[in-house]
Structure 1
Amino acid sequence: MKKPELKNALLALVLCTSVLSLHAQNDGIPVTSMSPMRNIGGDARQFDEQSRLQYNQMLSEAHKKDAVATDRNPQLIRLRAIAKRLIPFTTRWNPDAAKWDWQVNLLNSPTVNAFCMPGGRIAFYNGILTKLNLTDDEVAMVMGHEIAHALREHAREQAGKNTATSLFARLAGAGAAAYFGFDPRLGDAVGSGAAHVAALKFSRGDESEADLIGMDLAARAGYDPRAGVALWQKMSAINQRQPIGFLSTHPTGKDRIDNMNKNMHLVLPVYARAKGLDANQLPPYHSIALPRS
């Protein structure tokens, strides 16, 4: 091949690679701007420092009860391996995540829960792994969801929303009391109730956003996003007495599954690409049955 032809071939390869890279960034769940309400909720560095102190205090108390898994614990090794695959894709949702001091710990507790505090401090309770019999794909969905809360700064956003709605509600309650001539304390109580309902709605929105971002992170890391549906089917099975969706801080299991299925077409191609598979010929997702009670 002559030099001009080689040069053109290399240029075409570079352009093709750039296009594929851009496509890889732009597909999946679309990235949206974070809420400006975060700025009302306090300084990000202060939030991170508070998070660090709370996380360390939690670990200290758990260590006193011998409830923190050692580094040789197989389940903790598993969790950290899954986190290692997810974390490289977090900067798509928050560039600051590249500077976070990521940690993953496992607590010996039957509680069905997990969380990720601001700054990338993750904790799983053993109960969520054993009671739900989670596959790696399902663990990735849980972890991706919790990481998403930290990436989108939902805690700081929620603090800002609570501050704004509480102030508005108190003003509205006082205004109503003055206009209608009833006890101002009653007006304040009504205002507080309105603020509480608003805060619940914000929380449900945060949960729905975290579900979708968790699917996106998992898919990019090569975990099947359809595991999210199986996860919430399991959650619903062990939590038969669900709260009414409108009054809950979380969407109902059915709402979450519907939302995931509605957006599944966006993340399945991402997952297929990560696995080197044809998106139109993906094998069915297989979960593991819940343990017998």
Structure 2
Amino acid sequence: MKRNVVAVLLAIVCGIGSSAAMAKDRAQGADDGVKVDGMSPLRKLVPEEQIEAMALEQYAGMKQQAGQHGALVPDTHPQVVRLRAIANRIIPQAARWNPRAAQWQWEINLIASKDVNAFCMPGGKIAVFSGLLSTLKLTDDELAIVLGHEIAHALREHGRERMAKGTLVNLGASLGSALLGLKDTGQMVMGQGAKLVLLKFSRSDETEADLVGLDIAARAGYDPRAGIALWQKMNAADKGAPPQWLSTHPAGKNRIADIRKHLPEVLPLYAKAKGVAPGALPPYQSNRSGLAPIP
């Protein structure tokens, strides 16, 4: 009996990763641009309205706390104006990847912090930390790649999917350990295994967000080759990062390789937005010395 139940639990956990690969995404990006696997049906275990309401509450709390500490950068600040101008070009491209995005109440704010980070919550609530801008000295194209990536997480409902996966994996680890009589040691071992499974899923989400982000940024008229320069800068600033297999983010060199691989799919979108032929595009030039032009 114990063996049968454990087998079922393992099948659930192992099947989480393969469920998203059952069908290609034909509804969005099917005619041109990048192609990605369909979203996992497991996300439906968490209602859309529930996670969007949670995100709205958390975002409001973050803004309130930032305001109390003088960290919410004013609307009139040049960097806030810049961020919103870039986002306003990208957001109209979002609905092709998720029809609900057309009804989201989009918002973007800049938080004064040394953190090199940004995020987009379910429902279109975006925050960028000033350390991202001050540390990396991003061009508009590079910043558009960052925003596209974070927006893609929300469009592909990665937060909703991770909530469902996390619930199942933790439940499977706890029940499996109890049924096998492993007690404390078993809980620890199986718990670590569950964490590694979730890390793998998260890296997969990051890779998908890279690709979808390139797609929507290119359609908005931002050079997708800026993604290569972005990760060259990130690599230089991220020395001492953990190995890829213990990180929630793919290694920078792997991200650059993936971007190069998919440039033929997104450069025509960028060229179309700029009104030129792909072959007429000049090489991308970043604003940092030592970074060669990217053909």
Which TM-score band applies after superposition, normalised by the shorter structure? 0.7 to 0.9
Deviations 1:118-154 (A, max 9, x none): 1000111111111100000001000000001111111
Structure 1 residues 213, 110: closer, same or farther in 2, change over 3 A? same
AA aligned opposite 2:202: S
What is the alpha-carbon distance in structure 2 between the residues aligned to residue 283 and residue 27 of structure 1?
22
Q: How does 1:184-195 map to 2 (within 5 A)?
A: 184-195=183-194
Q: Tell whether 2:38 aligns with 1:33.
A: yes
> Which position in structure 2 is the counterpart of 1:240?
239
What is the alpha-carbon distance in structure 2 between the residues aligned to residue 127 and residue 69 of structure 1?
13
Q: Tell whether 2:148 aligns with 1:144.
A: yes
Consecutive unaligned residues of structure 2, counting only runs of 5 or more, are 1-26, 291-295
SS at match of 1:111: coil
Moved more, 109-118 or 225-234: 109-118
What is the alpha-carbon distance in structure 1 between the residues aligned to residue 271 and residue 173 of structure 2?
48
> Which position in structure 2 is the counterpart of 1:114?
118
AA aligned opposite 1:34: M
> Which position in structure 2 is the counterpart of 1:168?
172
SS at match of 1:284: coil
Structure 1 residues 216, 187: closer, same or farther in 2, change over 3 A? same
> Which position in structure 2 is the counterpart of 1:228?
227
Deviations 1:37-95 (A, max 9, x none): 2122x221111111111101111111111211212111111111101100111011100
> Which position in structure 1 is the counterpart of 2:54?
50
SS at match of 1:26: coil
Structure 1 residues 153, 241: closer, same or farther in 2, change over 3 A? same
Measure how far apart 1:262 and its partner are. Answer: 1.0
> Which position in structure 1 is the counterpart of 2:271?
272
Deviations 1:132-187 (A, max 9, x none): 0000000100000000111111111001111111222233333443xxxxx42222
Deviations 1:253-290 (A, max 9, x none): 01111111111110011111111111122100011117
Q: Among residues 75, 97, 100, which one is paired with 1:96 in the alignment? A: 100
AA aligned opposite 1:193: Q
> Which position in structure 1 is the counterpart of 2:163?
159
Deviations 1:210-229 (A, max 9, x none): 00011001100000000011
AA aligned opposite 1:243: P
SS at match of 2:165: helix
What is the alpha-carbon distance in structure 2 between the residues aligned to residue 237 and residue 73 of structure 1?
28
* Percent identity of paired positions between Structure 1 and Structure 2: 51
Structure 1 residues 290, 61: closer, same or farther in 2, change over 3 A? farther
Aligned residues: 264
Larger radius of gyration: 1
Q: Tell whether 2:63 aligns with 1:64.
A: no
CA contact (8 A) 1:166 1:191 kept: no
> Which position in structure 1 is the counterpart of 2:89?
85
CA contact (8 A) 2:29 2:97 kept: no
TM-score by length of 2: 0.85
SS at match of 1:124: strand
Consecutive unaligned residues of structure 1, counting only runs of 5 or more, are 1-21, 178-182
SS at match of 2:223: coil
